[in-house]
A = this chain, B = another copy of it.
Amino acid sequence: MRMRLLFFLTALAVSITIACGPAHVDTTASDSPKPAASVILLVGDGMGPSVIGLAKDYARVIEDRDLWMEKAISEGSLALVQVPALGTLVTDSAAAATAMATGQRTVNGTISLSADGEPLTTILELAREDSRGTGLVTTTRLTHATPAAFAAHVAHRDSENEIAKQMLASGADVMLGGGLRHWIPQDMTASDFAGYEGKSKRKDEENLVEQARGAGYTFVTNKDELAATAGADKLLGLFSHSHLPYVLDRRPNDGTNTPSLVEMTKAALDILSKNENGFFLLIEGGRIDHAAHANDAASMISDMLEFDEAVGAAMTFAKKRGSTTVYITADHVTSGPFLAARYSDETGGTVYPREPDLRKIAEQDASFEAILTALSTNPTPARLKELVSKHTGIELTDADVAFVLEGEPLSPFHVIHPRYRQFGYPALALGRVLGLQYNFTFAAGEHVGEPVLLIGYGPNAPLAHGYIENTDIFKIMNTASGL
């Protein structure tokens, strides 16, 4: 009976909140003027339900904390989201981000253009037209598919030089991520602008960094510079030549001086919250997907936990400010990653995953990308054993090593797309041999068909309700923004 009472009180509170419309949730702020309705959209790229469940266990066992997302679901609301693309039952990130950004379906690979090439208006553009603040934050290259679809319109996601140009032209107030290589002239290098190395990918003389400065942007390239930007009106931060390093590969004093997703989130909110008309902000945990493509459970889960902290920063901001709704979702599910039971003929029983499996995963202190990059200079069995032992504590057998260095893909579903081969050619084989130690398996190396969750937190949380399509997320955000 107590539970029912609690339910009625909660329902009463919810209905009162609802009746008050999109206003304060924080009564302590009731003396100040009511801030305009704002929306923060957090996208965990590739973050399927299994990743959320895994993160919940991992946060409890390894970090002795509850997931912020758990709090968001329990205090907010939950919807199930079908994520097709135009003509296919499984989407890529470009079509999925287009659906969320514009409310329209398009074909895989396309960035906010219709199937016949017409530009589709994005929520970021609508917010700009309404003189609101706008921002894009990601751990991938800023020009990667998810942020791109909010501020650019191109026929293929790989046209990142063009995307950079269009992003700058979009006038978004805050843009933070990686991928300086698409913003600098072809004859310059990253080190001309930042403390890291890398060649330009442009085929022209456009210096988008200079153009950004000319347009009033403060330009930063590392964590320390980012920490000093609260006074900026417009901010462009490019913290890596390509994607930001995985969380596992960032170390204090390692010279990369990369900000965390949480630091980027807070910096963006500092600037955007100054706009009296409200704002729209996208925050992407972009490399959860990359780690899942590479079947690298430890990198996936540590990037996921960082994403959850960014969720926490957004929730804390929203609660304090009021009138800000936080939506948390994923664009699709990648690779089908699972702690998994298996039957063992040796023991005659089923081996079920337990907490020590999470502790083994937590011992891995470098991504497959880092391990296999280190291996690439000297790809011998001894070197692979040495690297894996050093970074995971696991001693590979000769058979393991042969499988990683010479093995065939497990199945055609485990052939890696060239886009992800940079993360290590034999990554999926390494994922399999370590997976046997972790009791962890992946169904594939590409995207799989599964609904994702949409979590709502804040005054317009209940709009996240039902079994919806990803295009509905655009409508929900528009309604919550009062656009």
Contact = CB atoms under 8 A, between A and B. Distances in A.
Interface of A: 1, 3-4, 7-8, 11-12, 14-15, 18-19, 48-50, 52-54, 56-57, 67, 69-70, 73-74, 78-80, 82, 84-85, 87-92, 108, 333, 336, 338-345, 350, 352-355, 357-358, 410-413, 415-418, 432, 435-436, 441-451, 453, 462-463, 465-467, 475-476, 479
Which of A11, A73, A90, A435 has the most B CB atoms < 10 Å from its CB? A90
Nearest to A84: B57
Closest 8 CB pairs of A and B: A15-B15, A339-B449, A443-B443, A338-B448, A74-B466, A50-B450, A88-B352, A341-B446
B352 A451 contact: no
Given A3-B475, A11-B18, A57-B449, 17 more contacts: A7-B462, A11-B14, A48-B450, A49-B49, A53-B451, A57-B89, A67-B467, A73-B466, A78-B465, A80-B453, A333-B338, A338-B444, A340-B413, A340-B447, A340-B448, A343-B446, A410-B410
A296 to B, nearest CB: 16
Given A341-B447, A436-B412, A11 B462 contact: yes
Contacts of A466: 73-74, 78
Given A3-B479, A92-B350, A79 B78 contact: yes
A93 to B, nearest CB: 12
Given A15-B14, A443-B340, A350 B80 contact: no
A441 B443 contact: yes
Given A11-B462, A449-B50, A340 B56 contact: no
- Copies of this chain, how many? 2
B80 A443 contact: no
A345 B415 contact: yes
A7 B89 CA distance: 29
Which of A92, A339, A350, A445 has the most B CB atoms < 10 Å from its CB? A350
Nearest to A293: B343
Contacts of A476: 3
Contact of A411 (B350, B441, B444): B441
A341 B341 CA distance: 24
Contacts of A450: 48-50, 53, 338
A180 to B, nearest CB: 28
Given A54-B449, A88-B353, A462-B7, A342 B80 contact: no
B443 A479 contact: no
A442 B87 CA distance: 23
Contacts of A1: 479
B412 A338 contact: no
A49 B15 contact: no
A416 B342 CA distance: 8
Given A11-B15, A53-B449, A73-B467, A342 B89 contact: no
Contacts of A411: 410, 432, 436, 441
A53 B49 CA distance: 12
